[in-house]
Structure 1
Amino acid sequence: MTSGNGITGNDRERKDGKEWMLLLLSILLAFIIWLLHSLSLQYSVFFEYNVELTSSLEGRSRSAASEDLLIVRGRSEGYYILRQRIGRRKTLKVNAPVTALVHKDGDAFSVTCENIKSNIVEALGGNVDLEFIVTESMDFNFPRMVSKRVPVAPRTSISFDGQYMPLGRIELRPDSVDIYGDARLLETVDSVMTMTISASGVDGPIQGISGLMPIRRVEFSEDNIYYSLNVVRYIEESVDVPVTSVGVPEDKDLIVFPSTVRITFRRIFSSTQYSPDDFVLAVDYADFIKTMESELVPELVSVPDGVISWEISPRYVDCILLDNNGGQ
């Protein structure tokens, strides 16, 4: 049917449906705006946390979890409160000085929450404006552990730009750490490794901080290691250097073939020029007598400053020992 104004029943139903849809969307939008506004406001509520306490008790585990709950009251934004209420109870990692821990019995220690209030505030990280702490004290078990000092080894994946190379080894500070754990387990650990230190196209000194590769049931005295590596630009050159013999008795002659070898070396990029006289290559009579071999590896006795690495060609020289009648 058509009404007096020319609108059919179907048209009116479609119009009413659109109006209801707009109304529902408006209500939903208003609810979202209200929710976002409410979550941005601050509220004073109670929070519950599990606590993992870290300390430096000598000869004991560095961290322990308490079965007691930490209950505090504080002000926080609705977003943070909502995150705390959803899912499993969150764990608060608190650092505490040894002086705050009271030994009860065996491995059991107790800590008064007011004594570590500043540490709790630091662990909350500014998310909660702490008003007061409900929990009076918490108990922790710090089992005894043996320790030993082991070196830290760098784990690297570093590539260098053309004509750049490291000058020396990568330096670590500290270069050794104390590890804690079961005695039998520590017997199998002779070093700890850094996380992989990665860099590519390096054309200058690098430095940074790296964590340590975790070892199951082993704790470290340090969490992070500072590393540095000096990187320089180099040029490659070659010189022919005579091979001398040292330590030869007066009545003997040690003849070397070939008498001259080529040294190919890398040096720090500079305008300095090197000559064969700047290098001293020698074979030792004592080494010849000990080995009784005719071939020896010449030793680079003297090398000028700025030379980083070198190779000798040929690698071995032949040696012949003769009597020197003139020396008698």
Structure 2
Amino acid sequence: MRKSLPVILAVLASVVIWLISNLSETTSDIVSVQVVAHSNLVGHSDVAEESVTIAAVVSGSGFSLLNLALSTNKIVDVTFDPEDLTNRDGDFFTIADNTLFKYASSIMGPSVSVKSFLSHSVTFRFMREAYKKVPIVPVSFISCSPQYMPYRDMVISQDSVYVYGDPVRLESLDKVLTKQIVKRKVNRGVHGVVDLEVPAGMRLSEGQITYSQEVTRYVEYSTTAVLEVRNLPEGRKLTVFPSVVQVTYRFVFPISGNPAQNAIFYIDYDEFVNSLGGKCMVRCDNSPDVAICWEATPQMCDCVESSL
């Protein structure tokens, strides 16, 4: 027995070397994989109803093919772009084999190369779901450093989202909020990614969006303005108290001269007709583009109508 042991070890070593040598070589074989499709199709579930078998001729090392063969019962989750899926009939969506190559690495793994798929197309079933398209409302608290402030409205990457869930609950849903965006001591534009608040028991087509908020340095400028009256009918007179208001602007820094010299402040007679108690809001026309905001003091004026 002791004399035969070296022989046995030599044979085993030869077999191991032979296996390693052969498994290291590139070869081809037919491999099947169970795939569960995911996608963001409008009006349908985001997960296919059942898994589908996808078979392909692949090439790779013997080790890679052996690993694939040993994991044939493993289910692979693959996310497909909605644009790559064609609606053939009701809940059934098809992807052509030439497009399927985009997802070859996700389906078969990165260690092998797909030469061809055995089917010209693959079909998945995505069940219909009740849904509603609602606006996205950003929720933010942005405090700036002295002499800085937000400029213009916050810009978000998309203004609406599809919500999936119970039809009765969808009827009362009119918007989806973002999680709160909090920034402090800001002196430059801010941007980033924020998650959406998912209504309880519902699903969103998107989980997050990007946002961007301009921030600018400003300078305050105060002046007085004589109020005009607009839309006044012939034969009528509207007396405004006070007839001159103090106006405080915030302009984008720097400024030159008085950018608001062509601005017109007025009271709208049509607003007076529909008012309670004759109080009307001071309004502005032809405000300069560099004006971030303005405020009149007082903001509301008393108005009295009379005949000429």
Structure 2 length-normalised TM: 0.64
> Do 2:151 and 2:215's aligned partners in 1 also have CA atoms closer than 8 Å?
yes
Instruction: Supply the distance in 2 between the matched residues of 1:71 and 1:252 (Cα, whole angstroms).
Output: 85
1:160 to 124, 131, 144: 144
Matched, 1:95 2:80: yes
Q: Residues 277, 131 of structure 1: CA spacing in aligned structure 2 closer, same or farther, 3 A cutoff?
A: closer
| More helix by percentage | 1
Identify the residue that residue 301 of structure 2 maps to in structure 1: 317
Matched, 1:201 2:185: yes
1:63 aligned counterpart, secondary structure: coil
Amino acid in structure 1 at the alignment position of 2:203? V
Identify the residue that residue 172 of structure 1 maps to in structure 2: 156
Please give the root-mean-square deviation of Cα atoms over the aligned residues, in Å.
4.5
Q: How big is the shift at 1:269?
A: 0.8
Q: How big is the shift at 1:241?
A: 1.4
Q: After TM superposition, list the pairs within 5 Å mapping 1:175-324 onto structure 2.
A: 175-215=159-199, 216-220=201-205, 222-248=206-232, 251-274=235-258, 277-291=261-275, 293-324=277-308
> Do 1:56 and 1:98's aligned partners in 2 also have CA atoms closer than 8 Å?
no
Amino acid in structure 2 at the alignment position of 1:309? C
Instruction: Supply the distance in 1 between the matched residues of 2:236 and 2:265 (Cα, whole angstroms).
Output: 20
Instruction: Supply the distance in 2 between the matched residues of 1:114 and 1:322 (Cα, whole angstroms).
Output: 79
- Rg larger in 1 or in 2? 1
Instruction: Supply the distance in 2 between the matched residues of 1:115 and 1:250 (Cα, whole angstroms).
Output: 71
> Do 1:239 and 1:275's aligned partners in 2 also have CA atoms closer than 8 Å?
no
Amino acid in structure 1 at the alignment position of 2:140? T
Instruction: Supply the distance in 2 between the matched residues of 1:261 and 1:227 (Cα, whole angstroms).
Output: 37
Instruction: Supply the distance in 1 between the matched residues of 2:124 and 2:154 (Cα, whole angstroms).
Output: 40
Where do 5+ consecutive residues of structure 2 fail to align?
Answer: 1-23, 27-31
CA deviation vs aligned residue, 1:157-208 (integer Å, no higher than 9, x gap):
4332322222221122321233344433432432233344443333233334
Q: How big is the shift at 1:138?
A: 9.6
CA deviation vs aligned residue, 1:72-107 (integer Å, no higher than 9, x gap):
998799xxx9xxx9xxx88634437425x987xx86
Identify the residue that residue 29 of structure 2 maps to in structure 1: none
Q: Residues 283, 113 of structure 1: CA spacing in aligned structure 2 closer, same or farther, 3 A cutoff?
A: closer
2:227 aligned counterpart, secondary structure: strand
Instruction: Supply the distance in 1 between the matched residues of 2:124 and 2:181 (Cα, whole angstroms).
Output: 36
Q: Residues 158, 63 of structure 1: CA spacing in aligned structure 2 closer, same or farther, 3 A cutoff?
A: farther
Instruction: Supply the distance in 1 between the matched residues of 2:98 and 2:262 (Cα, whole angstroms).
Output: 71
Q: Residues 67, 309 of structure 1: CA spacing in aligned structure 2 closer, same or farther, 3 A cutoff?
A: same
Instruction: Supply the distance in 1 between the matched residues of 2:274 and 2:94 (Cα, whole angstroms).
Output: 68
Instruction: Supply the distance in 2 between the matched residues of 1:308 and 1:125 (Cα, whole angstroms).
Output: 54
Count of aligned residue pairs for this structure pair: 269
Q: How big is the shift at 1:153?
A: 1.8
Q: Residues 71, 271 of structure 1: CA spacing in aligned structure 2 closer, same or farther, 3 A cutoff?
A: same
Amino acid in structure 2 at the alignment position of 1:271? I
1:303 aligned counterpart, secondary structure: coil
Structure 1 length-normalised TM: 0.61
